[in-house]
């Protein structure tokens, strides 16, 4: 593919809330920008469980200074999708949907070539705001590749009246366990630590703890799945190995950013356990001049560090830095 002859001041990769916030900030400053998203608008939110409720209140999910009106104390997935669709209607952002970016390469002239499945774009600056929801944290045990094993959860109906094993103790795992139990599933949880994660939504945590305490949901603490077969799951527990009958496994053990993509762009990644990408916290610029990070992707494997509400500010930080450099030219 030939490079698109029209160079952009900025290409933003990732059409989630933070990528959209970056595009809005660029538009307001008169920058010639392009926003590229591999799926639908706010693709990660679209793929969240159907009835998920956000931890954040509506005003903390706002971008572009546009109010997010919500009757309930906490908005749900459907309300969030409606809000961000309305954001697009208001700003008419220059966005290309269903176009995956394959590579970002800096050229000798200081500009970037951003190669997607459909085109190659020249850009003076690039923002990567790709989130972390694309790659599951695999447990790497025999049988994980069976069709009965799911790393993403949409809704409980398909698991009704079946034996379901949920791996994990974070928000997604707890929500799935409770919803499946309410729909008539026989639910077992396998939890690596000795308790439900402290970061679980405060209005959900007592519910799951009470269901476990009363025996409605069976939980194996300090335990790990050792193997999965078509009709059983083998679990390593403090009291020895246990085998339980099973129809479905929900391995909701978390997700991670595409670190290989970041490395291919030239971004330095720490050797530590968190695999944190290198960036300037005052400007969000990486070790590659003109290449920025925004949103959850900044945390590496610490995916609980950044949320919409505390990374919205990245947009203005990045655009302010780009504008200050243009003024110096």
Residue indicated by tokens 């995956």: 100
Indicate whether 122 and 263 sit together in one domain.
yes
* β-pair type (33-36, 95-96): parallel
Tell me the average confidence (pLDDT) per consecutive run of 10 residues in the chain, 329 residues long. Answer: 76 98 98 98 94 90 94 92 98 98 94 96 97 92 98 97 97 96 98 93 94 97 98 97 98 94 97 93 97 96 89 96 81
Residues 6+ apart with CB under 8 A from 213: none
- Which two three-digit tokens encode residue 211? 């269901």
38: three-class secondary structure by DSSP: coil
Distance CA 295, CA 304 (A): 11
Distance CA 159, CA 255 (A): 22
Distance CA 79, CA 62 (A): 12
Indicate whether 37 and 95 sit together in one domain.
yes
H runs (alpha helix) in 72-202:
77-91, 171-182
The domain in which residue 65 lies consists of 3-135+255-328
pLDDT attached to residue 328: 63
Indicate whether 118 and 157 sit together in one domain.
no
Indicate whether 120 and 266 sit together in one domain.
yes
Indicate whether 131 and 269 sit together in one domain.
yes
Residues 6+ apart with CB under 8 A from 53: 72, 74, 75, 76, 201
Indicate whether 40 and 119 sit together in one domain.
yes
pLDDT attached to residue 72: 86
| pTM over cut 0.85 | yes
* β-pair type (135-136, 255-256): antiparallel
Indicate whether 147 and 245 sit together in one domain.
yes
Indicate whether 15 and 59 sit together in one domain.
yes
Indicate whether 267 and 225 sit together in one domain.
no
Q: Is 82 exposed, middle or buried (0-12, 13-18, 19+ CB in 10 A)?
A: middle
Per the structure, the count of domains in the chain is 2
Indicate whether 116 and 216 sit together in one domain.
no
pLDDT attached to residue 12: 98
HSE-up (13 A, CA, CB side) for residue 249: 32
H runs (alpha helix) in 142-252:
171-182, 205-214
- What is the distance of C-alpha 327 from the center of its chain? 35
Nearest to 155 by CA among 260, 48, 287: 48
Distance CA 244, CA 223 (A): 13
191-198 long-range contacts, CB within 8 A, separation 24+: 191/219, 191/220, 191/221, 191/222, 191/223, 192/222, 192/223, 192/224, 193/169, 193/221, 193/222, 194/221, 194/222, 195/169, 195/221, 196/169, 197/169, 197/170, 197/171
Indicate whether 78 and 150 sit together in one domain.
no
Domain final position from 235, 251, 267: 251
- Residues linked to residue 114 through DSSP beta bridges, in sequence order: 104, 121
Indicate whether 169 and 196 sit together in one domain.
yes
Distance CA 91, CA 97 (A): 16
Residue 112: CB atoms within 10 Å: 25
105: three-class secondary structure by DSSP: strand
Q: Quick one: which H or E segment has residue 21? A: helix 17-28
Domain final position from 197, 221, 251: 251
Domain final position from 194, 226, 251: 251
Distance CA 186, CA 94 (A): 47
9: CATH: 3.50.50.60
């Amino acid at each position: 593919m030939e490079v698109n002859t029209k160079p952009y001041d900025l290409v933003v990769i990732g059409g989630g809330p933070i990528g959209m916030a970056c595009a809005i900030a660029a538009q307001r400053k008169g920058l010639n920008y392009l926003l590229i998203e591999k799926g639908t608008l706010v693709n990660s939110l679209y793929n969240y469980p159907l009835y998920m409720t956000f931890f954040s209140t509506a005003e903390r999910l706002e971008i572009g200074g546009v109010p997010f009106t919500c009757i309930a104390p906490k908005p749900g997935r459907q309300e969030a999708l409606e809000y961000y669709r309305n954001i697009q209607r208001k700003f008419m952002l220059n966005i290309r949907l269903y176009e995956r970016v394959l590579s970002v390469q800096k050229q000798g002239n200081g500009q970037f070539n951003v190669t997607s499945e459909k085109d190659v774009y020249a850009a003076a600056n690039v923002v990567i705001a790709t989130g972390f929801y694309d790659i599951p944290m695999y447990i790497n045990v025999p049988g994980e590749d069976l069709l009965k094993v799911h790393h993403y959860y949409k809704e409980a109906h398909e698991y009704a009246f079946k034996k379901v094993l949920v791996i994990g103790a974070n928000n997604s795992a707890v929500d799935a366990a409770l919803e499946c139990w309410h729909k008539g599933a026989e639910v077992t949880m396998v939890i690596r630590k000795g308790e439900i994660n402290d970061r679980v939504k405060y209005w959900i945590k007592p519910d799951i703890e009470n269901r476990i305490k009363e025996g409605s949901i069976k939980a194996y603490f300090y335990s790990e799945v050792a193997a999965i077969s078509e009709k059983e799951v083998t679990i390593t527990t403090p009291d020895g190995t246990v085998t339980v009958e099973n129809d479905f496994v929900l391995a909701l053990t978390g997700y991670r950013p595409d670190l290989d993509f970041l490395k291919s762009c030239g971004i330095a990644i720490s050797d530590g356990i968190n695999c944190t990408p290198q960036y300037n916290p005052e400007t969000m610029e990486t070790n590659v001049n003109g290449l920025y990070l925004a949103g959850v992707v900044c945390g590496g494997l610490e995916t609980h560090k950044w949320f919409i509400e505390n990374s919205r500010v990245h947009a203005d930080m990045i655009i302010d830095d780009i504008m200050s450099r243009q003024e110096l030219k």
